[in-house]
Amino acid sequence: AKRLPQAIIIGVKKGGTRALLEFLRVHPDVRAVGAEPHFFDRNYERGLAWYRDLMPRTLEGQITMEKTPSYFVTKEAPARISSMSKGTKLIVVVRDPVTRAISDYTQTLSKKPDIPTFESLTFKNRTTGLIDTSWSAIQIGIYAKHLENWLLYFPIGQILFVSGERLITDPAGELGRVQDFLGLKRIITDKHFYFNKTKGFPCLKKAEGSSKPHCLGKTKGRTHPDIDQEVVQRLRDFYRPFNMKFYQMTGQDFGWD
Evaluate whether 7 touches 71 at the Cβ level (below 8 Å). no
221 is in an annotated binding site: yes
Q: Among this protein's residues, is 124 annotated catalytic?
A: no
200 is in an annotated binding site: no
Q: What CA–CA distances, in Å, run from 225 to 12, 98, 109, 222?
A: 21, 13, 10, 9
220 is in an annotated binding site: yes
30: Cα within 13 Å, side-chain hemisphere: 31
H or E element, residue 159: strand 159-163
Of the candidates 13, 14, 67, 89, the residue annotated as catalytic is 14
Q: Which residues contact 111 (CB under 8 A, 6 or more apart)?
A: none
18 is in an annotated binding site: yes
222 is in an annotated binding site: yes
- Rounded to 10 degrees, the C-alpha dihedral 54/59/60/64 comes to -30
17 is in an annotated binding site: yes
103 is in an annotated binding site: yes
Cα separation, 111 vs 109, in Å, equals 5
46 is in an annotated binding site: no
198 is in an annotated binding site: no
User: What residues act catalytically?
Assistant: 14
List the binding residues for 3'-phosphoadenylyl sulfate. 14-18, 95, 103, 220-224
Residues flagged as binding site = 14-18, 95, 103, 220-224
